[in-house]
Amino acid sequence: MSRLRRHSPALALTILTMIGTIGFIDRIVVNALVEPLKAEFGLSDAQIGLLGLAYSALNIVIGVGIARLAEHRRRLTLTTIGTLLWSAAATASGFVQGWHQLLAARIAVGVGEAVGLPANQSVISDYYPPHRRASAMSILLLAAPLGAFIGLGLGGFVAQTWGWRWAFIVTGLPGIVLALLVWLFVKEPPRGAHDGEIDHAVPPVRAVLGRLLALRSARHLIMGSALASLVGFGLIAFLSALMTRRFGLPVGEAGLVTALIASFPAALSVGLGGTIADRLAPRLKSAHALFPGICLLVAAPLYVIAMTRGDLAVFVVFTALSTLMQFTFLGPTAGSLQNMLHPRMRATGHAFTNIFGGLVGGLGPVLVGWLSDELASAGYPSDIALGYAMAGAGLISLWAAAHYLLAARTIDKDLARAREGPA
């Protein structure tokens, strides 16, 4: 079997991006099914929001333990096992008979992804040198917008054509094939291959936390990315539902439009974010923090305009523009944090940043759902209530931007400190 495995950066990046894409499809397809699920089980917007938090809760807790295991063991074996687990759980979501079963199935998807995904950034970091990591991470992180595009568009179409249960089944099964591909064909790269002479002993957890907490820019990058994720997850969770309520679009069309105006611009944003930051960095040392900070500043008012419009064309244009600005932070953040960590810290470091990002980001759908329910109970029509709740969440991008602008002040010095030795 080992003879089939190739040491190919392009192959590894392609297959791991595909796995991440399927994972995000299985995570986000539920967002295309908000209205059918509410009708089937009599759910509130807050309960819909809890589905996202339920995914995040065990995902982030288990992810730390798995990441520590990944520092010692073959990382791609964990990727294979986790992909099989979450694909089975995602498929099982199509057979649930009630709210609690659905909640359990979504938690199981989170558990599988906690096993399968934490080490992937570490693997890619060992395939690519430091000056190309932000660009490579941007490609790896394209999984989120591509997964959202497919999950929302395909999920909505399948639900409208064959019912919401088939949407879970159709999007859950492909992960099994990808699990086999990564097991058969992708070789585990040597750790620290592009980082010079390294100590191959695995640092303790306190050393990982100490490194992240000691670097001011790392603290701001983690906080800023968590807040930006809160906005992204909060809005994407209800975007299809808003178009159904406000503009009368059926589930399939709402999912397709959401994919086109949110997921496609987000894919451009993620793909270009790391590349632009890498290109700017030789002349502008703070580019990996300054560039996403400025983009987030622009995204916030665009979101408010979009979510409060009653004209579909205006809604579409401003949502697309705001999304294009919102997600530039992903590649530069991931690449910078990986560069700040020892090669044997990277899986654990990613898991810890994912804990904070998952907790804060996972609150996005809950916050939007709760605000929507509160405004509706105060007498606002359901579409107006949801739109105002989403606009309020969009303003949090200003808070996220502040952290990136603060990180820009010290990121160059902090990266130098990390290269010199323990922070």
Per residue, the 3-state secondary structure of the chain, as one string, reads: CHHHCECCHHHHHHHHHHHHHHHHHHHHHHHHHHHHHHHHHCCCHHHHHHHHHHHHHHHHHHHHHHHHHHHHCCHHHHHHHHHHHHHHHHHHHHHCCCHHHHHHHHHHHHHHHHHHCCCHHHHHHHHCCHHHHHHHHHHHCCHHHHHHHHHHHHHHHHHHHHCHHHHHHHHHCHHHHHHHHHHHHECCCCCCCCCCCCCCCCCCHHHHHHHHHHCHHHHHHHHHHHHHHHHHHHHHCCHHHHHHHHHCCCHHHHHHHHHHHHHHHHHHHHHHHHHHHHHHCCCCCCHHHHHHHHHHHHHHHHHHHHHCCCCHHHHHHHHHHHHHHHHHHHHHHHHHHHHCCCCCCHHHHHHHHHHHHHHHHHHHHHHHHHHHHHHHHCCCCHHHHHHHHHHHHHCHHHHHHHHHHHHCCCHHHHHHHHHHCCC
Among the ranges given (46-60, 175-189, 222-236, 240-254), the one the predictor scored with the smallest mean pLDDT: 46-60
Mean pLDDT of 303-330: 92
Q: Domain 2-189+204-420 maps to which CATH number in 1.50.10.20, 2.60.120.620, 1.20.1250.20, 1.10.530.10?
A: 1.20.1250.20
Give dist(CA 66, CA 87) in Å, integer: 18
423: pLDDT confidence band, cut at 50, 70 and 90?
Answer: very low
Mean pLDDT of 191-196: 64
Q: What is the per-residue pLDDT for 192? A: 66
**Cα angle 7-12-18, degrees, rounded to a multiple of 5:** 160
CA 290 to chain CA mean position, Å: 21
8 or 290: whose pLDDT is higher?
A: 290
**Cα angle 404-408-410, degrees, rounded to a multiple of 5:** 125
Mean pLDDT of 284-299: 93
319: pLDDT confidence band, cut at 50, 70 and 90?
Answer: very high
Average pLDDT across the chain, whole number: 84
333 or 263: whose pLDDT is higher?
A: 333
206 or 168: whose pLDDT is higher?
A: 168
Mean pLDDT of 415-422: 69
Is pLDDT at 404 greater than 90 in this prediction?
Answer: yes
Q: Report pTM.
A: 0.70
Mean pLDDT of 58-62: 67
Is pLDDT at 365 greater than 90 in this prediction?
Answer: no
